[in-house]
Structure 1
Amino acid sequence: MPSRPDLRSRIALLVPSTFLIDGPVCRLAEEVGLQPCLLRVPSPTIADTSDAGAVADMVRFMGDTESLAAAARLAREVEPNVIAWGCTSGSFIDGGQMGKRQAAAMEAAAGVPAITTSQAMISALSDIGARRIVVITPYLVPIGERFVEFLEGAGLTVTSEAHLGAGSDAEVGALTASVFADALDALPADQVDAIVIPCTAVDEYRIRPALAASDAPIIFANRATLECAAQCARR
């Protein structure tokens, strides 16, 4: 087994095989006091990334509990203190119970606490007492609408929403910071408790500066995941 010279809690972060922002996520992990180990979960190729049905089927495939359990068993080799499924759409596409099933499967396989990004985003909103929120997703509209339904199912009120039409990690990565800023400018965002931007393919370091004028706190997927994981590791 590997030695543990680093005394920080170690996270085994499961990400899609198409994940492109390892560096920024590792930087985020270290900011919250975690030692990150990223492990890939296979993602099938989609012929048409504008096909929302195909995208939904793909994230279901990645988030299958047997696949995540298999990845979690492999993750035991790095002796993690906590494990996370770092994919927002892959943990909400079939509703609020989906992430709970995934976390239970990973925890049983790895023998350590486990979370999903969707669960972590709900936790982050709860931590700041947010109830009324604005949502900006990078997703195709039908996928983004599923995320809104997921949030509303958790008792949150989505006052306005925008969906930017990306169907893959590469397309999300190609969205400029100004696209997010323009989307926020076009939405009524006064008297809300938070702005929520899901998808672990979004690079917070690149996007956040363009949203600096916002008075409301902004919840990003990766930071929410890692902060929730750090909390779990300390328990």
Structure 2
Amino acid sequence: MNRAFSSALQIDLYERPPALDIRPLPKRVGLIILATDHTTEPDFRRMVASERTGVYVARIHYTNPTTPENLRKMQPSLTAGAGLILPGETLDAICYSCTSASVVIGDAETEKAIRQAKPGVPVVTPALAAVMGLKALGARRISVLTPYTVETSRPMADYFDRHGFQIDRFTCLGLEDDREMARIPPRELADLAPQVMARQSEALFVSCTALRAALAVRAIEAAINRPVVASNQATAWQCLRLTGDDVSRPEFGQLMTLPLVGTTFES
């Protein structure tokens, strides 16, 4: 009886189409994340998403363990992943959220792959965002903490050396699965920080988008009395500044109070 009633009901087409906004939200940030990622989306919801800025996510295939070989295998997926984010529409920034992969693939190659699908869009990688963040903080001597193995940490050390940083101490935790990295409590990172921070270093870099380090930045800065740059904090900072959002967010660390310094990919 209901079906008969529905088919007999007259449905009127309104004579005038509704007025449309140019965009549902004024600013748009794209995120390309690993299929196994537990952390980046919640972090960007806290730090980037707002009534002004939308965050739009695509996941690409990734298989543990976290080795340079497996990380490099993601490169062919970057173009397709970028193309899945609001096809045919422009973005204000797009971030590939994997620190170690952006190092082994290379910033320039990452940018090239993403811009095949999103030409002209500013590309953000965690490694270069961290470099820019450390420079904005005035730090040249750093300590580094990663959750990776020694094999996967080595390219990271080489990367920061090439960008002109003196690494006073580099500590890795020896984990191979990014899902386990995501399970490290933020409080554990804050407790660990004084042990991995060299006395002469000017800042600490905590690498890996899987780590919940953004939640621990304030506690880490209090524990070591120096600024901290963490992967998701750095990419969120760069993405916000690229959208024209200059609001200070000290609850996410000293970096989140600073303007963006430079946006150019380096070798």
Selected match of 1:87 from 89, 98, 104: 98
Contact 2:184 2:212 in 1 (8 A): no
Where does residue 79 of structure 2 map in the other structure? 69
Q: TM-score, normalised by structure 2?
A: 0.74
SS in 2 for 1:110: coil
Identify the range of structure 1 (83-92 vs 172-181) with the bigger mean alpha-carbon deviation: 172-181
- What are the superposed Cα offsets for residues 72-104 of structure 1, whole Å, 9 maximum, x if unpaired? 12224264221111110110025xxx1111112
Structure 1 consecutive aligned stretches of length 4 or more whose deviation exceeds 6 Å: none
What is the deviation of 1:164? 0.9
| Unmatched 5+ stretches in structure 1 | none
CA change 1:206–1:125 in 2 (3 A) is closer
CA–CA separation in structure 2 for the residues paired with 1:29 and 1:175: 23
Secondary structure, counterpart of 2:138 in structure 1: coil
Question: Percent identity of the aligned residues?
Answer: 25
CA distance in 2, matches of 1:205, 1:82: 20
Aligned residues: 220
What secondary structure does 1:93 align onto? helix
**1:11 and 2:29 are equivalent in the alignment:** yes
Corresponding residue for residue 174 of structure 2: 165
Larger Rg belongs to = 2
Whole-Å separation in 2 of the counterparts to 1:182 and 1:35: 34
Aligned residues of 2:146 and 2:207 also touching (Cα < 8 A): yes
The superposition leaves residues 47-88 of structure 1 with CA deviations (integer Å, 9 ceiling, x where unpaired) of xx3xx6xx22211111x1x32112112224264221111110
Q: Which is richer in helix?
A: 1
Question: The residue matched to 1:166 in structure 2 has which SS?
Answer: coil
20-29 or 135-144, larger mean C-alpha shift: 20-29
Distance 2:90 2:111 in 1: 17
Partner residue in 2 for 1:104: 112
- Higher RCO, 1 vs 2 (CA within 8 Å, ≥6 residues apart): 1
- Write the distance in 1 (CA, Å) between the matches of 2:23 and 2:207: 33
- Give the unaligned 5+ runs of structure 2: 1-20, 245-262
The offset of 1:219, in angstroms, is: 0.2
Alignment of 1:1-235 (within 5 A): 4-7=23-26, 9-21=27-39, 22-30=41-49, 34-44=53-63, 46=64, 49=65, 55-62=67-74, 64=75, 66-77=76-87, 79-93=90-104, 98-111=106-119, 112-208=121-217, 210-211=219-220, 212-234=222-244
Cα separation, 2, equivalents of 1:225 and 1:3: 26
- Paired with 2:72 and 2:126, the residues of 1 have a C-alpha distance of 15
Shift of 1:205: 4.6
